[in-house]
Amino acid sequence: MLETATANLPFAVRQYSAEQLREALRKMLLIRRFEEGAEDSYTRGLIHGTMHLSIGQEASAVGACMPLTDADKITSTHRGHGHCIAKGAEVARMFAEFFGKETGYCRGRGGSMHIADVTKGNLGANGIVAGGIPIAVGAALSAKRLKTGSVVLCFFGDGAGNEGAFHESLNMAAIWDLPVVFFCENNKYAMSTATERSTAVHNIAERAAAYAMPGITVDGNDFSAVAEASHVAVERARAGQGPSLIESVTYRWRGHSKSDRNRYRSKEEIESWVARDPIGRFAELLREQAILDAEGFKALEDAVEREIAAAIDFAKTSPAPDPLALTRDVYTERPA
Amino acid sequence: MSMPLRETPTEVRELSYAEAIRDGLAVAMERDERVILMGEDIGVYGGAFQVSGDLVQRFGEDRVVDTPISELGGAGIAVGAALTGLRPVYEFQFSDFATLAMEQIVNQAAKLRFMLGGAVSVPLVMRFPAGSGTGAAAQHSQSLEAWFGHVPGLKVCQAATPYDAKGLLLAALEDPDPVMLFEHKLLYKTKGPVPEGHYTVPIGQAHLCRRGGDVTIVATAVMVHRALAAADKLAEEGIEAEVIDLRTIRPLDRKTVVESVAKTSRLMVVYEGVKTLGIGAEVSAMIAESEAFDYLDAPIVRLGGAEAPIPYNPDLEKAAVPQEPDILEAARSLVRGRL
């Protein structure tokens, strides 16, 4: 009787403790507020350049990273703030990076598009579409060759699936049985070009067949579905059974970057996806399962707000890099 | 993880340039388990130019990895492996094929350390069989080293001798940053003395191959040999050329070149890459901006590749890059003031 009831529960509820689930929701909220804070700071002129927001995709980032340990690696994309937070980065050092400060993860040299926290296994966001895919496979080659037991999860977008690097990398990962999970966040548009106009297959996961690996398409706004797919693929990789391809179908509420005027999609379309808010859906699941009530959710939100405010303050008051140190880290400094 | 080190080379043998590189690879692989080779047909085939040779028999397929024909992905995998604890040596079958992998070399390998604020390093070695003279025409004969020399974050070397080929390779494998090794295909079968065991040739240090007071000839790769042959003939005419083998084009050894030009008062730069915007331009500008400028008695001369792709016809192919008679004639004119 009890077994049947358990089997009907969503994967995440069966797999993770209440504490882990609350932490996952906290991270999703943290990503949302981080990006809203970054957007606000950009509008105020505190952040220059550009940024690519993943608001609406939080379940995808956090769900994908659920089965990973700090020893496992990820490679990320230009839309990588969520991945970075999901893998355990501190928002204060992220904001400091966006503000171009010496205390940032990249000492202010990388900015939003190169945000990384290698201490937590994040090998970095990447400004080149599909640039991180072969790097992830290389990291998986290291893991296999050096027998570290770790797994690499490679984030990329639907646009990257049409780059040669994607195809070359999946092929090599498959022929060498490498411990890597290819995690495609299909948010429907590569900048302005819809996947229907750019991609011959309906589901990007179908491309797994060409490289003799499992491929699955999941609802990327359903935390539990994403975590389950990632869990299965990570276990498979860790057991030495080779790579998998996961397609997480999601949607970015904001434009591609700060220059986007949303001419390629309708307000109605955007609203239909806002109605499928991954945070709202996950919070609802936790409420149904009596894991987090409305009061608990409010407390979580308040704590996140405070963390964001303190992080922005840290970034504002941090020192800027010294222009005289411009060429620092172009090469490794070695004792003469 | 490493074998006991044998720092002092013992016996010196005559090896070909290709054998010297293979010897260096074997020494590195014995010393350091993290060293792996990657490339197309480097396993049982032994590499297109027989550089890897029998290494797959000696070290196994896990360490001598035949890749599919996927230069971009292969190069990127080497970058990722270098980033996470291995020391890959990636062989391009021909340097021309690096065009397929420029993204990973230029955007990733060269910039990752900088972009991440020094949090990572990319100890990656790439090898590029380069240059013309084999009848392989326009897509298998280029000298693209100057492209790579334009990218901060990369180091770029061109060994002219078997000794330097092995020594620079072993130096590259000890370097924490990505090092690109350009190997001229005409040199693979040339022989020279090569010590056994481990030794390094410092990256960034030119080699003064021949002393002379009348003209400085700065050359790279196969042009070093042509310059030395021309210098012997010039000596018969009473002209003493000083020949400098750059060995590394990024970072350039400014001191050696500037001191030589200050002494000889004349500079000629000989290189196989396309003349315009190449090594010759950089070395010339370096002198023009240096204290040696005041010592110049004549305009600087550049002998570089033609402003054309490398042609198939053997006579045209020879005409496309500097040959010994070109160097001889140009040096003679430069010294005797008949420019």
CB contact under 8 A, A168 and B80: no
pLDDT average, residue stretch A219-226? 98
- Domain count within chain B: 2
Angle, CA of B208, B214 and B216, to the nearest 5°: 40
Q: What is the pLDDT of residues B317-331, one digit of tens each?
A: 999 999 999 999 999
CA distance A202 to A14: 31
Question: CB-based burial of residue A119 (10 Å sphere; 0-12 exposed, 13-18 middle, 19+ buried)?
Answer: exposed
Average pLDDT, chain A: 96
| pLDDT for the residue A261 | 87
Nearest to B36 by CA among A138, A302, A62, A170: A138
Asked if residue B266 and residue B117 are part of one domain, the reply reads no
Q: Are strands B191-195 and B179-184 parallel, antiparallel or unpaired?
A: unpaired
Asked if residue B251 has a cis previous peptide bond (ω within 30° of 0), the answer is yes
Shared domain for B179 and B255, answered yes or no, is: no
Contact B154, B178 (CB under 8 A): yes
Which one of A73, A101, A144, A172 makes the best mutation probe of the B interface by having the most chain B beta carbons within 10 Å? A172
Asked if A146's CB is within 8 angstroms of B112's CB, the reply is no
Residues 190-249 of B with CB under 8 A from A: none
The answer, yes or no, to whether residue B333 has pLDDT greater than 80, is yes
A23 part of a folded domain = no
List the 271-330 stretch of A: residues with Cβ below 8 A of B. Answer: 327-330
For residue B113, give the CATH number of its domain. 3.40.50.970
What letter would DSSP give residue B47? -
- pLDDT given at position B2: 43
Rounded CA gap, A232 and A209, in Å?
17
Residue B1 in domain: no
Residue B338 has pLDDT above 80, yes or no: no
Identify from B32, B63, B79, B84 which residue to disrupt to test chain A contact, counting A C-beta atoms within 10 A and taking the largest count.
Answer: B84
Q: Could you tell me which of B30, B50, B28 has the C-alpha nearest to residue B39?
A: B50
Closest approach of chain B CAs to the CA of A173, in angstroms?
10
On whether residue B8 sits in a domain, the answer given is: no
Whether residue B213 sits in one domain with residue B159: no
Residues B44 and B176 in one domain: yes
**Interface with chain B: mutation pick from A99, A135, A318, highest number of B CBs within 10 Å:** A135
Closest by CA to A86, choosing from A112, A109, A54, is A54
Start-to-end CA distance of chain B, whole Å, equals: 59
Two structure tokens written together for B267: 């500079």
Q: Closest to B80 (Cβ–Cβ): which among A118, A134, A334? A: A134
CA torsion, points B32, B37, B43, B45, in degrees to nearest 10?
A: -120
What total of structural domains would you count in chain A? 1
* Coil vs helix vs strand at B196: coil
Contacts across the A-B interface (CB distance below 8 Å): 150
Domain span at residue B47 reads 13-195
**Residue A335 CB-density burial (10 A; 0-12 exposed, 13-18 middle, 19+ buried):** exposed
- Please report whether residue A28 resides in a domain: no
Of A207, A169, A220, the C-alpha closest to A60 is A220
Catalytic status, residue B71? yes
Position A334 pLDDT exceeds 90:
no
Q: Tell me, yes or no, whether B61 and B128 share the same domain.
A: yes
Residue in A109, A328, A334 closest to B115 by CB? A109
Q: How many helices (H) and strands (E) does chain A have?
A: 13, 7
B7 catalytic per annotation: no
User: The CATH number of the domain where A126 resides is what?
Assistant: 3.40.50.970
CB contact under 8 A, A106 and B84: no
User: Measured between beta carbons, which residues in chain B are less than 8 angstroms from residue A148?
Assistant: 85
* Dist CA A323 CA A107 (whole Å): 12
**In contact, A174 and A241? CB cutoff 8 Å:** no
Res. A6: pLDDT tops 90? no
Backbone angles phi, psi at A329, to 5 degrees: 70, 10
The confidence score (pLDDT) of residue B1 equals 40
Cβ-nearest to A128 among B107, B152, B176: B107
A119-123, A259-263, B164-168: lowest mean pLDDT where? A259-263
ipTM of the complex: 0.96
Cβ contact (<8 Å) for B86 and A142?
yes
**Contacting residues of A for B80, CB less than 8 Å apart:** 75, 123, 134-142
Compute how many other C-beta atoms are within 10 angstroms of the C-beta atom of residue B33.
16
Whether A317 maps to a domain, the answer reads: no
Q: Using H for helix, E for strand and C for coil, what is the string for B76-113?
A: HHHHHHHHCCCEEEEECCCHHHHHHHHHHHHHHHCCHH
Q: Are B168 and B268 contained in the same domain?
A: no
Whether residues B188 and B227 fall in one domain: no
The answer to whether residue B4 sits within a structural domain is no
Identity of residue A3: E
pLDDT at A20: 98
- Averaged pLDDT for residues A150-161: 98
Residue A152 has pLDDT above 70, yes or no: yes
Q: Which of B103, B118, B177 sits opposite A128 (nearest CB)?
A: B103
H/E element, B218: strand B215-219
Tens-digit pLDDT profile for residues B128-172 = 999 999 999 999 999 999 999 999 999 999 999 999 999 999 999
Q: Which of B195, B220, B239 is the last residue of a domain?
A: B195
**pLDDT (average), residues A121-150:** 98
To probe the interface with A, which of B38, B115, B151, B177 has the most A CB atoms within 10 Å? B115
Mean pLDDT of chain B: 96
Instruction: Tell me: do B83 and B225 sit in the same domain.
Output: no
Query: What pLDDT does residue B10 have?
Result: 74
Beta bridge partners of B13: B194
Let me know whether B216 and B188 are in one domain: no
Instruction: List the beta bridge partners of residue A331.
Output: A328
Share of chain A above pLDDT 70, in %: 98
CA angle (A332, A336, B1) in 5-degree steps: 65
Q: Which residues, listed in sequence order, are joined to residue B65 by a DSSP beta bridge?
A: B38
CB contact under 8 A, B115 and A136: no
Structural domain contains residue B202 = no
Asked, for residue A132, whether it belongs to a domain, the answer is yes
Cβ–Cβ gap B153/A104 under 8 Å: no
User: Do B158 and B53 belong together in one domain?
Assistant: yes
Strand order in the sheet with B267-274: B207-210, B241-245, B215-219, B267-274, B301-305
Q: Domain check: are B224 and B136 in the same one?
A: no
Distance CA A140, CA A73 (A): 9
Phi, psi for A9 (deg, rounded to 5): -70, 150
Q: Which of B91, B140, B145, B242 is catalytic?
A: B140
B210-259 tens-digit pLDDT: 999 999 999 999 999 999 999 999 999 999 999 999 999 999 999 999 99
| A333 occurs within a structural domain | no
Local structure of B253: helix, strand or coil:
coil
Question: Region A21-33: what's the mean pLDDT?
Answer: 98
A313: CB partners within 8 A, 6+ apart: none
Asked if residue B117 and residue B148 are part of one domain, the reply reads: yes
Cβ of residue A192 closer than 8 Å to a chain B Cβ: no
- For residue B219, the Cα-to-chain-centroid distance in whole angstroms is 11
Give the pLDDT score at B8: 57
Q: What DSSP designation does A205 have?
A: G
Question: CB–CB of B31/B83 below 8 Å?
Answer: no
B16 neighbors B189 (Cβ within 8 angstroms): yes
Query: How would you class B246 by CB atoms within 10 Å of its CB: exposed for 0-12, middle for 13-18, buried for 19 or more?
Result: buried
- Cβ of B80 within 8 Å of Cβ of A332? The answer is no
Is A192 exposed, middle or buried (CB count within 10 Å of its CB: 0-12, 13-18, 19+)? middle
Among residues B163, B195, B227, the one where a domain terminates is B195
Rounded Cα–Cα distance for residues B4 and A335 (Å): 23
- Across the interface, whether the CB atoms of A143 and B77 are under 8 A apart is answered no
Q: Binning pLDDT at 50, 70 and 90, where does residue A257 land?
A: confident
Radius of gyration of chain B (CA): 20
The residue assigned the tokens 């397609």 is A247
pLDDT of B61 higher than 70 = yes
Range of the domain at A219: 57-87+115-255+263-296
